[in-house]
Structure formats: structure tokens, C-alpha cells
């Protein structure tokens, strides 16, 4: 098995659950002893992914969001965030900085932010079937804590 630990969570696509998702990510990542900066980066990326699922995946309805956290050998945290909402017709276009389908109040920087704070970012989506965002972040072992 490539993973050393994992957890799965599922919750409704309510905006109040974005804070829960950030906290859950931080709590799970804590076992790798990240720096405050690494923890902040992880929380920000999770916040962006969950917010995208809420705002774009389920713009007019309540749906469900599933999160999976895995510790992969080699001190890597993998986070998967999935919705079963609208989906994305053109993932490449959606990942372009400043592109948004959310109106003037949205910045169109969600995927860009996720990619800048994580080491790897993959997005899979099918219109009408939902979107899965998978992010990985290597956490450097601290001196004397191997």
C-alpha cells in the first residue's frame, strides 16, 4: 500500500462547511508536522477547492462534497475534493487565470491559487457528472524529526 494513513469525509455544499473543510485539512496534515506556512498553504488550497465546488458545482442547488486526505509514503499529503454537480465543460479553459463562470464577484483565480500552494494539481470533470480536484503537497521533515 502506498498510503500510510487516510480519512474520508462527506458534507453538504453549504458555505458554512468551507471552514470545516479547512480545519479538517489542517488537523489531518498536522501528523506530518508542517510549518505554519505549509499549513496555511494547504488550508488556502482546500478553501479554494471547496468554494469552487459550492459556487460552481452547485450554483442553484444543494449537493454533496466528498473529501479524502491521504498521507503517501515520502511525507506527501494528497487531498481529493469531489462534487457531483454541474461539472466543467472545458477544464483547460477553467484553469486559465481570471476565467470565471461565477459573475463579477468571482476572481477566476481558484485553480491558480490551488496550483501555486500545492506541488501537484489535477482536475477531472464531466459536464453533468461533477468535478474531482486532486492536490498533493510534500511536507519537508524538520531537522531532527525523521
Per-residue confidence band for 106, with pLDDT thresholds at 50, 70 and 90: low
Per-residue pLDDT, 102: 55
Higher pLDDT, 120 or 89: 120
As a whole number, mean pLDDT of residues 33-47 equals 95
Q: What residues does 78 pair with on adjacent strands?
A: 70, 136
Residues classed as catalytic: 48, 52, 106
d(CA 87, CA 130): 4
Q: Which helix (H) or strand (E) holds 111?
A: helix 110-117
Q: Which residue has the higher pLDDT, 123 or 73?
A: 123
Tally the C-alpha atoms within 13 A of residue 18's C-alpha that lie toward its C-beta: 15
Q: What is the pLDDT of residues 51-104, one digit of tens each?
A: 999 998 999 999 999 999 999 988 999 999 999 999 988 767 766 755 555 555
Domain ranges of the chain: 3-138
Q: Kindly indicate whether the domain formed by 3-138 is annotated with CATH number 1.10.10.1100.
A: no
Sign of the torsion formed by the C-alpha atoms of 53, 54, 60 and 61: positive
Amino acid at each position: 500500500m502506498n498510503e500510510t494513513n487516510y480519512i474520508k469525509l462527506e458534507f453538504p455544499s453549504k458555505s458554512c462547511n468551507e471552514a470545516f473543510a479547512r480545519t479538517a485539512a489542517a488537523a489531518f496534515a498536522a501528523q506530518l508536522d508542517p510549518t505554519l506556512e505549509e499549513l496555511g498553504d494547504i488550508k488556502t488550497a482546500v478553501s479554494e477547492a471547496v468554494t469552487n465546488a459550492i459556487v460552481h458545482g452547485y450554483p442553484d442547488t444543494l449537493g454533496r462534497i466528498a473529501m479524502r486526505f491521504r498521507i503517501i509514503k515520502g511525507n506527501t499529503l494528497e487531498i481529493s475534493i469531489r462534487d457531483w454537480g454541474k461539472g466543467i465543460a472545458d477544464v483547460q479553459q477553467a484553469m486559465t487565470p481570471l476565467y470565471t463562470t461565477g459573475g463579477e464577484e468571482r476572481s477566476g483565480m481558484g485553480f491558480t491559487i490551488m496550483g501555486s500552494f500545492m506541488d501537484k494539481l489535477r482536475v477531472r470533470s464531466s459536464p453533468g457528472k461533477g468535478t474531482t480536484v486532486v492536490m498533493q503537497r510534500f511536507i519537508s521533515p524538520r531537522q531532527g524529526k525523521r
